[in-house]
Chain A
Amino acid sequence: DAGVTQSPTHLIKTRGQQVTLRCSPKSGHDTVSWYQQALGQGPQFIFQYYEEEERQRGNFPDRFSGHQFPNYSSELNVNALLLGDSALYLCASSSQGQETQYFGPGTRLLVL
């Protein structure tokens, strides 16, 4: 049973560019949440997708957007990258109504 997978594992971009990160949830899960973890900090909630719609959103600007596909996989898009967007981006999946979230290994983004 595959757990949560994310791609790519590492990414280097320059300021102003756009990036797309991908997540496949654990088998049987229908809800995907995205978190940003800056170095030395705890993960910060970006948003959550369920039934292909954004259900909850944290305190992140509109440059951060997402999508969920019919197979429950999800993408996180960040436009107009800033140096401060450099972080580990974590995807977590869960089943609707279940509190337990399972995290993927993350995508480490470096913005130069």
Chain B
Amino acid sequence: GNSVTQMEGPVTLSEEAFLTINCTYTATGYPSLFWYVQYPGEGLQLLLKATKADDKGSNKGFEATYRKETTSFHLEKGSVQVSDSAVYFCAPPNRDDKIIFGKGTRLHILP
């Protein structure tokens, strides 16, 4: 089945710093790729997605580009805010639509 490897963190940055959270995947074929975010005490929210190679997903200042050559889908943001503190999950769905999550990357942004 499809799976991901992402940095576990925690990642601690100062406000306005540049963020990169690495994600590499193994997949059968070329599925869509997703980033989900979980704010403290809440469920998961879909942050962004890309449906095919070279697609760039973007939302709330976050971006990720589907790189087939490097099997990567790294999450980036140019200037993080305290409100971005959360756990971020990179996820490719499997053929049967169940999502296999890793532990996610915990992000702390300091004011």
Count of interface residues, chain B, beta-carbon cutoff 8 Å: 21
Which 8 residue pairs of A and B lie closest in terms of their CB atoms, listed nearest first? Answer: A42-B101, A103-B44, A105-B43, A106-B43, A45-B98, A99-B93, A103-B43, A99-B32
A94 to chain B, nearest CB (A): 7
Q: What residues of chain B lie closer than 8 Å to A35, measured between beta carbons?
A: 99, 101
In which size bucket is the chain A interface? Answer: 20 to 34
Which residues of B does A touch, CB under 8 Å?
31-32, 34, 36, 42-46, 49, 89, 93, 96-104
> Can you list 20 residue pairs at the A/B interface with Cβ under 8 Å?
A33-B98, A33-B99, A35-B101, A43-B89, A45-B100, A48-B98, A88-B43, A90-B43, A92-B44, A100-B34, A100-B46, A101-B46, A101-B93, A101-B99, A102-B46, A103-B36, A103-B45, A103-B46, A105-B42, A106-B43
